[in-house]
Structure 1
């Protein structure tokens, strides 16, 4: 299959969670973070979302999946609910965490080696320039990588049971929730078809239950691998936290794989572009920061800054505020609709205490393009990183965190 260019239809959004803010059309635009320009794309109505899955049903689906596993697989699946296990996620392919492959850095102008685009924030390449994950970095205390049962051990029956569980825990919109995750898995298989030695592929992801699924007590449904971290924490049957939630993507342009055209983060990019396109020159100037990489990527837990940066949403027009909320919704819509409505209501109530900052071109097509939405609760970042398999084009790293409910409130 060949990579294709992103077209306007890939940059439209389908949305079903805007009852709280009215119907919002995502207005795309070509904006520089420092230059204001306009263009537009029209959003379309969303696939109807399910009303949500009861905690009893979710637990039953978790138990049904576990029942399909062998004793050895169950031993890997069930892990202790500890902060060490909860924070054990990364943007790395698992083979890199385990030290079985290394990712070369990008040569800098002075001939030294710069960190690879898939190094997490704060990581540095090793002395030999390989960019191998540093000891004690993301991956936690498990030196062989992530915890849980590896997806390449699953039979078709087991995959089907796991998909039913994830479909219940995630959003049902197009390019959101489980659909978005499946496209990110497709992207990793696409990378594997081009670079077979890079540790890519949908078989290199891990599923873990931290604690025992139950409607009493606390447990986490953890699923992750290269460019993906899903972490839903439940307490007494209710969702206590849906973050950290990491999404990355290479290639960013739409590509054909597994019988479909994949562009899982096109809606996020379109929504962020629309936010920056709507700001006037003074607002863009106030929003501009020097940051160009994720501040709160893997391993940067509970390190929220004490001060806000950028343009306050309180100073924006109603139309601009709606665009900010639309951008936030592209992340919140990744969880089941009932939970997403609750979370979005909280974020909307705090919108006037929220800030937007950015750097780069504002179009999310160049290395170093960056945006952040930061409020009393919500924290969302997207950064364009150097390309790896496609070195001529940057790729996406993005994280959604919550100042209050990351890991369901669990701290180290």
Structure 2
């Protein structure tokens, strides 16, 4: 076990409060999450259990290793099911019990953007996996996320390694993996991968393609790894949404402006299905052809972080003429990504994307970003739609 984990779980209460308030959540919101099927009992502020004694593998040291999946036959659902079974077979009996959950709305909603020592997660730590198990898990992640999406996961893990230089609450070892439901070709199951600033809920064999909810945040915005690699993990998303908003005329920006202020994403963890009853902003159908292309590019910046098979189906739904005619773009606070409180939203019949700018938590003199992508019809593959 790495020395930097030794203090995990003993962070001062004042530090925890600062992190929670800075990330747009407070004790009241954590309690609300529990009422809405969020973190289970014991998963509130500062009460999560993180078994750092189980860590046997330095995940950060493996992030540049290539991932190869040789099985090109069948659908993504079939590939993922096969790889999930292979992954489970590498685990001990105890790990298999700890990683698998019933497929329920309450279990599915147990994810968060907060550090793992603040909010309990499902499953087991990536760092607790043997080298064999970690390689098997990475293949499963790669098939679900595709090449670009897997690269995004790696960037987030590298950001955690960077933050880990300042605090033991952050580390690539401290991401979790869990499976909800029976891994089968004939019934739905969910793969959850997440930790601080990352939560992916990928549903297989469901009635609808389910790649959401998908939360990605980042701090620091730009950083250099120990190998001298410079990474700006959310550059594509940031550039896409701000290019979209910047393309609007003064009149269009006035129409697109939301009067409410946002210090975080609105439909984040613990808020499944709680979309506004009325859309705000400017309709995409009222924009010029060039502006509409920028809206499409912004949506693609999120959706292309899943495998090609599923992204095609989702983009066909989100970018159809019928859908775009009912899609709104909106902003609040500022149109500058360096301003705390800057907020951008894309709100369609199905697609829901938010980008929020917050003050720095660990890197105090820099802002950091929170984003969420949801699907109003197909979060969790539509398994819990009423």
TM-score range, shorter chain: 0.7 to 0.9
Determine if contact 1:366/1:393 at 8 Å carries over to the other structure. no
Deviation of the 1:95 alpha carbon: 0.4
Tell me how far apart the structure 2 counterparts of residues 318 and 148 of structure 1 sit (CA, whole Å).
46
Please name the residue that 1:146 is paired with.
Answer: 121
User: What SS does the corresponding residue of 2:217 show, helix, strand or coil?
Assistant: strand
Q: Distance in 2 between matches of 1:329 and 1:401?
A: 13
Q: What runs of 5+ residues in structure 2 fail to find an aligned partner?
A: 1-71
Q: 2:200 aligns with which of 230, 250, 264?
A: 230
Counterpart in the other structure of 2:291: 320
- Cα pair distance change 1:152/1:182, threshold 3 Å: same
2:130 counterpart of 1:160: no
Aligned length: 310
Say whether residues 1:307 and 2:263 are aligned partners: no
Once the two structures are superposed, the pairs formed by residues 209-248 of structure 1 within 5 Å of their partners are 209-235=179-205, 240-248=209-217
Q: Which has the higher helix share?
A: 2
Residue 25 of structure 1 corresponds to: none
Moved over 4 A (4+): 50-53
Cα contact 1:52–1:336 (8 A) shared by 2:
no
8 A contact 2:98–2:124 mirrored in 1: yes
Match of 2:237 among 258, 264, 268: 268
Kept in 1: contact 2:77–2:205 (CA 8 A):
no
The match for 1:81 is 103
Question: Counterparts of 2:250 and 2:103 in 1: how far apart (Å)?
Answer: 48
Cα distance between partner residues in 1 of 2:335 and 2:177: 35
**Cα drift, residue 172 of structure 1:** 1.5
Show the counterpart of 2:153.
Answer: 181
Q: Does 1:341 align with 2:312?
A: yes
Distance 1:405 1:291 in 2: 28
Secondary structure of 2:107's counterpart equals: helix
Deviation at 1:248, TM superposition (A): 0.5
RMSD: 1.7
Post-superposition offset of 1:259: 5.6
Determine the structure 2 residue equivalent to 1:55.
Answer: 77
Does 1:192 pair with 2:164? yes
CA distance in 2, matches of 1:258, 1:330: 27
For 1:257 and 1:171, locate their aligned partners in 2 and report how far apart those are by CA, in whole Å: 26
Q: Which residue of structure 2 aligns with residue 202 of structure 1?
A: 172
Larger RCO of the pair (alpha carbons < 8 Å, separation 6+): 1
Instruction: Map 1:85-104 onto structure 2 (within 5 A).
Output: 85-97=107-119
Asked if the contact 2:162–2:223 (Cα under 8 Å) also holds between the matched residues in 1, the reply is: no
Shift of 1:53: 5.0
CA contact (8 A) 1:255 1:263 kept: no
- Could you tell me how far apart the structure 1 residues matched to 2:155 and 2:208 are? 24
Distance in 2, matches of 1:257 and 1:411, equals 45
TM-score under structure 2 length normalisation: 0.77
Q: TM-score, normalised by structure 1?
A: 0.72
**1:56 Cα shift?**
2.1
Partner of 1:249: 218
What SS does the aligned partner of 2:127 have?
helix
1:362 shift after superposition: 1.4
Would you say the 8 A contact 1:220–1:233 is kept in 2?
Answer: yes
Question: How far apart, CA to CA, are the structure 2 residues paired with 1:88 and 1:399?
Answer: 15
